[in-house]
Amino acid sequence: MIKIKSALLTIAVSCFVLAPPVHAAPSVKTLAISEPNASVIDNLESYPDLEVLSISCLDSLKALPDSIGKLTKLKELNIDNGNGCTMNPVMPESVGNLRALEKLVLYGAQDPQGPGDQPKVRHPFPRSLSQLKNLTDLDLGRNGLEQIPSFVQDLPHLKILEFRANDHLKEVPAFLSNLRELTTLNLDSDGLTDLPTFLNSLPKLTHITLGDNCKITQNAAKVRELKRKFPKVSFDFTNEFDCPEN
């Protein structure tokens, strides 16, 4: 009996030693990285066929690795910081190589105002983001931004622009008139008092959300005016939070 167990153990050990290491995972198309598997972010080049990458709550992440630019089949990059997490990583210029990317979510992922050990500085967006010509869905919400970044004007196929919870937005920039495919504009909680008339020139724009822009939502006359000014647009003025009393 002892000899049999010894033989089986020898076979098992031999199989373990001879098993080849895994250097790539070509069959993996969807990958989610969070604190329990944080080390995976340093080996992104091992996932050449990746189409969807989600990164969340990596509080210690100082910068996205340059190797992210090797994921040339990536269609969706989701860095959604959510509530209770702090992330503010530097984005490398190599993200411009993600030419197949259709959806980019950076919700709260470039916010220097959050708690924790992340740098309290505003990182400039990579200029190479202008090269993401296939992007149709972009979320820049809750990043403490005071203006819509200029690279947005270079995204000709953009259909959905999420910019909610950037509560010091000074104005809606005129370059949005370049986005001829835009259908949806989310401007909730942006501190706005009005909308520019040029938005009427966007032929496919049919939905705008303005909840928690209290100087609009609490002003019945302004609500009526916007509905008259933009007859083709369906508005959502729903407030998630209580507006301060005047």
Q: Is residue 54 packed enough to be buried (19+ CB in 10 Å), middle (13-18) or exposed (0-12)?
A: middle
pLDDT score of 115: 65
Rounded CA-CA distance 95/101 in Å is: 10
pLDDT in tens, the chain (246 residues): 444 434 433 333 333 233 233 455 779 999 999 999 999 999 999 999 999 999 998 888 899 999 999 999 999 999 988 767 888 899 999 999 999 999 999 999 998 876 666 667 889 999 999 999 999 999 999 999 999 999 999 999 999 999 999 999 989 999 999 999 999 999 999 999 999 999 999 999 999 999 999 999 999 999 999 999 999 999 999 999 999 886
CATH architecture of 136-246: Alpha-Beta Horseshoe (3.80)
- Please name which of 89, 185, 184, 192 lies closest in space to residue 143, comparing C-alpha atoms: 89
Report CA dihedral (98, 118, 122, 91) to the nearest 10 degrees.
Answer: -10
- Please name which of 62, 21, 28, 63 lies closest in space to residue 45, comparing C-alpha atoms: 28
pLDDT score of 23: 53
Distances, alpha carbon 138 to alpha carbons 9, 14, 135, 144, 193, in Å: 54, 51, 7, 16, 23
Task: Give the pTM.
Answer: 0.88
Report CA dihedral (173, 177, 181, 187) to the nearest 10 degrees.
Answer: 30
Token pair for residue 161?
């622009």
- Domain residue spans in the chain? 24-131, 136-246
Residues 131 and 155 sit within 8 Å (Cβ to Cβ): no
pLDDT score of 2: 41
